[in-house]
């Protein structure tokens, strides 16, 4: 872990990353790609030391209330967050200044902040986005080794649903020849239906590989799936888009089950929902605690 001073914290779309790098160790992580110019070891988490000070200033000065998002580049609930509480303190600021909140995570550490997220949702809007890729617990521990497994994430979704927090699931990536099978997709969709998720983001079945990400992914294939790297190279060469050979069959299952369950799947509609600040005649402006 190391600290760095930054000049700004919110993107033009009101997204933020309080950390750079990640310790979850997911073998497919696109954030490792060279294009993002992370000039330090990916597991050596960079903490944006003055992020909360900048966030406070930005939220206080915004003329309109907005949804603040986080988690696109690094999980806001990595183990380091348990000690530093940057995400928790950001939530306090978001609540204090009457904005909304959404995040992408794989971690059950988010439950530490459940009461705070509930307060935001009661006052404005809070949406939790959870990534699910692999129903098989043993396989999940290989693909996403340093974070809670899918079974625990589903328990988190259940708890959020019980507390009226809307949820969105990222069903991606689905790795060719690894988890691109009917049993896996059916089980994950059943999890989503059972926990009453509002929407599922699925960019068809497959993954993307760029320089930096590709090399790490292939290294991990060699460690856990001997010979599979060569199969990837034969089938996909150095392509960016790596589609599952089972895409058509799996997407039929996906479309049928989500339609029957009334789950939102149109990506434009989902992103619009995530960015839309609720229009209410009055919103409660309460003091934190």
The structural domains of the chain, with segments of one domain joined by +, span: 2-275
Pick the CATH number of 2-275 from 3.30.710.10, 3.30.230.10, 3.20.20.70, 3.10.450.50: 3.20.20.70
Partner residues linked to 20 by β-bridges: 46
Task: Name every residue whose Cβ is closer than 8 Å to that of residue 61 and which is 6 or more positions away in sequence.
Answer: none
Q: What is the pTM of this model?
A: 0.94
Could you tell me if 127 and 102 are in contact, meaning their C-beta atoms sit under 8 angstroms apart?
A: yes
How does pLDDT run along the chain (289 residues), one tens digit per residue? 999 999 999 999 999 999 999 999 999 999 999 999 999 999 999 999 999 999 999 999 999 999 999 999 999 999 999 999 999 999 999 999 999 999 999 999 999 999 999 999 999 999 999 999 999 999 999 999 999 999 999 999 999 999 999 999 999 999 999 999 999 999 999 999 999 999 999 999 999 999 999 999 999 999 999 999 999 999 999 999 999 999 999 999 999 999 999 999 999 999 999 999 998 644 444 444 3
Task: Name every residue whose Cβ is closer than 8 Å to that of residue 278 and which is 6 or more positions away in sequence.
Answer: 100, 124, 125
DSSP, residue by residue, 173-233: ---TTTT-SHHHHHHHHHHHHHTT-SEEE--SSEEE--TTHHHHHHHHHHHHSTTHHHHHH
Q: How far apart are CA 185 and CA 135, in angstroms?
A: 8
Could you tell me if 153 and 129 are in contact, meaning their C-beta atoms sit under 8 angstroms apart?
A: no
């Amino acid at each position: 872990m190391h600290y760095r001073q930054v000049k700004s914290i919110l993107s033009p779309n009101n997204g933020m990353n309080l950390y750079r790098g990640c310790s979850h160790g997911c073998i497919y992580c696109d954030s490792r790609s060279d294009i993002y110019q992370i000039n330090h070891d990916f597991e050596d988490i960079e903490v944006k030391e003055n992020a909360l000070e900048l966030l406070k200033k930005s939220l206080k000065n915004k003329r309109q209330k907005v949804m603040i998002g986080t988690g696109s580049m690094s999980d806001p609930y990595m183990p380091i967050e348990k000690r530093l509480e940057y995400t928790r303190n950001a939530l306090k600021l978001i609540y204090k200044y009457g904005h909304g909140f959404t995040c992408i995570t794989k971690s059950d550490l988010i439950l530490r902040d459940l009461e705070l997220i509930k307060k935001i949702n009661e006052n404005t809007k809070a949406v939790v986005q959870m990534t699910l890729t692999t129903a098989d617990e043993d396989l999940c521990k290989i693909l996403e080794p340093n974070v809670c497994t899918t079974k625990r994430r589903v328990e988190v979704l259940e708890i959020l649903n019980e507390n009226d927090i809307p949820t969105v699931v990222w069903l991606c990536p689905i790795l060719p020849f690894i988890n691109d099978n009917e049993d896996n997709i059916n089980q994950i969709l059943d999890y989503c239906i059972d926990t009453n998720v509002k929407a599922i983001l699925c960019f068809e079945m497959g993954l993307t590989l760029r320089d930096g990400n590709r090399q790490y992914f292939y290294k991990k294939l060699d460690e856990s799936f001997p010979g599979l790297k060569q199969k990837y190279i034969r089938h996909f060469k150095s392509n960016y888009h790596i589609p599952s050979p089972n895409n058509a069959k799996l997407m039929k299952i996906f479309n049928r089950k989500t339609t029957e369950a009334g789950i939102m799947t149109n990506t434009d509609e989902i992103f619009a929902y995530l960015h839309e600040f609720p229009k209410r005649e009055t919103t409660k402006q309460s003091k934190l605690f």
